[in-house]
Amino acid sequence: MSDFAATLGGIFSNPNFYFTVLSTTVPILLATLGCAIAENAGSTNMAEEGIMILAAFFGVIGAAYTGSVWIGLLVAVVVGAVMGLMIAYFALYLKVDIILVGIAVNLIGSGLSAFLMYVITGDRSATTSLHSGTLPTISIPGLSDIPFIGTIISNQSVLAWIAYLAIPVMSFLLYKTKLGLRIRSVGENPDAASSVGVSVNRTKMAALVISGILGGLAGAYLSMSYLPYFSKGMSGGRGYIALAATAMANNTPVGSFGTSLLFGFFYALSTYSSTLGIPDQLVTTLPYVATLVGLVIFAINVQRKERKMLHESGGGHSSKAQQVADASEA
Amino acid sequence: MSNKSSKGIAERLRSISVQTRHEILRMAVAIAIGLGIAVVLIVLTAKDPESALTYFVGAPFMSLSYFSHMIEVIIPLLMSGAAVCIMFSANQFNLGLEGTIYLGGLVAALSGIYLVPNLPVLGPIFSILLGGLVGFFIIAIPALLQYKFKANIVVSTLMMNYICLYVGLYFLFDVFKDPASSQHTYPIGSDAGLAVLIPGTKIHAGLFLAVAVVIFAYVLLYKTKLGLSIRTVGQNPKFAKYVGLSVSGLALVSQFIGGVIGGMTGAVQMLGLYQRFEWTSLTGYGWDGVTMAIFAHNNPKYLPFAAIFLAYFRTGAWVMSFKAGVQIDLVSVFEGVMVLFIMAEKFLSGTYRKMIFADADRKRKERNAAKGGEAA
């Protein structure tokens, strides 16, 4: 047992471990933020998985055929945005249940990417032959000299920086801007929001497009940073994990950071588990079990809050709609 | 006499409500769009589009082995489809079938290896029931978490799927692996597998069980009080509550049944087609169940049609993949597109309006004609 503790201590005192944690967290974090903003608008975006894989694929193709990873990144983002629009169209205007839209998009995403990969490269498993390249990494001179922390944060991909910067940006968007207020009010009480002149569908659509863009970035990270190529099924369930991470984080950006970090941590730990002598499968199970527990705690909290609201005489109920009304008057 | 009966058919056709007729039209257009996209993709990408298309559209009738492949594909589709129909009828978006199928398959395989390797007929039945039991326990976790704490069922079942996968992988690699192999167990006992029905094919006795499960699901949902209650809860929870049904309790029951069928699906698939347990990822049959339920509008009566339809083109795509070099993944695109359009409530809503007006016009004319006849 002391051996085990010593090995574990060795892992935890090694800055490379935390470097891995931060880089495995990136795609989950981006997708989680994407789910969170959609969820704030009252739409469960189950399609992050499909968006990610399509963006990862088309990003690589774009990069390979133009010779520029930046264009690849742009392609991935555009694919994400278009997918977001498509989800919005089917869910909001053609009235398909949004969870079924998600399932269908995931089917289409995994199928289309694998199908086109074979058509374009003649390879069934990965696009290694395309040599699409990776996005640059960033190391800030002053910061990378700091002993422990320097190793952790330097040489992270430019998309990792974007992902971590997206947390405050998303917080600002949701809590300090008019669009954010509309998104939250539409999610909380669409009738009240539309009664004060907010277009519910258009707001939800905006949220879904932003959600798609974040999914696109997550896909780009997978195929142009994390790995230098696209491989079949490379999103690996991260879209579903994102959905769970969002639910556990109560749809807040900062909470999303915490919960996706939890998944990143265990992902990273599972790569070290052979040295620990414990089965990596069981380590990999931990974040999922943690999510179940987190969901229950979250649900109990919600119930408690609802009961409290019932006891108070419903005064706080329309406050958000009132805020929207004030904002649009201003 | 014959005149009378043909008149009866015409009247029956006319008496199908506009809504149903519109649903049929929508389904047909959705299938046409899906097929159209598949055909376009094949024509654009195949080296020899003509032969590729021939295989895609006609493969199951080209040889006995292709036809039997189609029947093999139908078996899990029917079972997981029935499970999802029951759960979705109660409006429960339980997506946990993947996990039950995976562990149901593992447990059935282990039972066939260690518990009943040499017991014909009763052995496989025992293993399948054991698989069902495992499915029950797996689904019970998220279902009870929802019942007790209102934990989000979509998320919790998705998480359960991964927990099942990794727990199963742990048992596969660290406990039950055949040391001589890299990633599978010892072979399943010779009498523990499901019997082959037609020699020379892989069509196995699981087909009977699959048909029985579909009939069970139909009878349960449409011929029993429990089924009526489940459907009422799914269609209108407020009304269900008003008439005194236990909404969350019925949701729970529907998921328990779905879980049992899910576990049995995995067991049947494992004992029917595999010599040893070798699944290292989730199988996808659970998601297939969702697609099936969508095609069947949650009514098990339509599952056989949906299963034959999906299995037909899956077989076509499978044959096309090795005969004409077109990737089988095309099928996912095809099915995803159809799911989107089939479920689109507002799709072709303009046509729906026109159909209603035309129907009303026709009825008014008939009434006027009848009045005119009386007057004369």
* CA gap B239, B106 in Å, rounded: 41
Asked whether the predicted pLDDT for residue B345 surpasses 90, the reply is: no
From chain A, pick out residues whose CB is under 8 angstroms from the CB of B336.
Answer: 104-108, 111
Given pLDDT bands bounded at 50, 70 and 90, which one contains residue A290? Answer: confident
Question: What one-character-per-residue DSSP string does A2-15 give?
Answer: HHHHHHHHHHHT-H
The average pLDDT across B52-57 equals 92
- Give the list of residues 6+ apart from residue B251 with CB closer than 8 angstroms, or none: B90, B91, B92, B143, B146, B147, B233
The average pLDDT across B159-183 equals 91
Distance of CA A227 to the CA centre of its chain: 18
Output the average pLDDT for chain B: 90
High-pLDDT (> 70) share of chain A, %: 93
Q: Looking at the DSSP assignment, which residues form a beta bridge with residue B177?
A: B185
From chain B, pick out residues whose CB is under 8 angstroms from the CB of A295.
Answer: 145, 151-152, 155-156, 159
The average pLDDT across A115-126 equals 88
The average pLDDT across A214-238 equals 92
Q: Which of B166, B294, B332 sits opposite A284 (nearest CB)?
A: B166
Domains delineated in chain A: 2-329 (1.10.3470)
The average pLDDT across A74-87 equals 96
CATH number of B70-312: 1.10.3470.10
pLDDT tens for each residue of B27-41: 899 999 999 999 999
Neighbours of A322 (CB within 10 A): 13
* B307 min Cα distance to partner chain A (Å): 17
Contact B339 A103 (CB under 8 A): yes
Output the average pLDDT for chain A: 87
Res A330: pLDDT: 40
Res A1: pLDDT: 55
Domain ranges of chain B: 21-45+326-365, 70-312
Choose the weakest-confidence range: A164-168, B101-105, B238-242: B238-242
| Length in residues, chain A | 330
Interface test with chain B among A46, A93, A96, by most B beta carbons within 10 Å: A96
The average pLDDT across B288-292 equals 94
Q: Which of A90, A124, A279 sits opposite B344 (nearest CB)?
A: A90
Res B13: pLDDT: 63
pLDDT tens for each residue of B209-225: 999 999 999 999 999 99
Residue B348 φ/ψ region, left for φ over 0, alpha for ψ in the -120 to 50 degree band, beta for the rest:
left
Asked whether the predicted pLDDT for residue B64 surpasses 60, the reply is: yes
Given pLDDT bands bounded at 50, 70 and 90, which one contains residue A248? Answer: confident
Asked whether the predicted pLDDT for residue A316 surpasses 60, the reply is: no
The amino acid at residue B362 is R
Asked whether the predicted pLDDT for residue B1 surpasses 50, the reply is: no
From chain A, pick out residues whose CB is under 8 angstroms from the CB of B174.
Answer: 279, 281
Asked whether the predicted pLDDT for residue B2 surpasses 60, the reply is: no
Choose the weakest-confidence range: A17-26, A142-151, A187-196, B265-274: A142-151
Q: Nearest residue on chain B to A294, judged by CA atoms?
A: B151
The average pLDDT across B277-293 equals 93
Contact B346 A95 (CB under 8 A): yes
Q: Which of B158, B167, B340 sits opposite A244 (nearest CB)?
A: B158
- Give the list of residues 6+ apart from residue B120 with CB closer than 8 angstroms, or none: B191
Whether the Cβ atoms of residue B326 and residue B42 lie closer than 8 Å to each other = yes
* B71 min Cα distance to partner chain A (Å): 23
Res B191: pLDDT: 87
The average pLDDT across B138-157 equals 92
Contact B151 A292 (CB under 8 A): yes
* A263 min Cα distance to partner chain B (Å): 12
Q: What is the pTM of this model?
A: 0.88
High-pLDDT (> 90) share of chain B, %: 64
Whether the Cβ atoms of residue A35 and residue A211 lie closer than 8 Å to each other = yes
From chain A, pick out residues whose CB is under 8 angstroms from the CB of B344.
Answer: 90, 94-96
Given pLDDT bands bounded at 50, 70 and 90, which one contains residue B352? Answer: confident
pLDDT tens for each residue of A138-184: 887 777 778 888 778 878 889 999 999 999 999 999 999 999 999 99
Q: What counts of helices (H) and strands (E) characterise chain B?
A: 15, 0
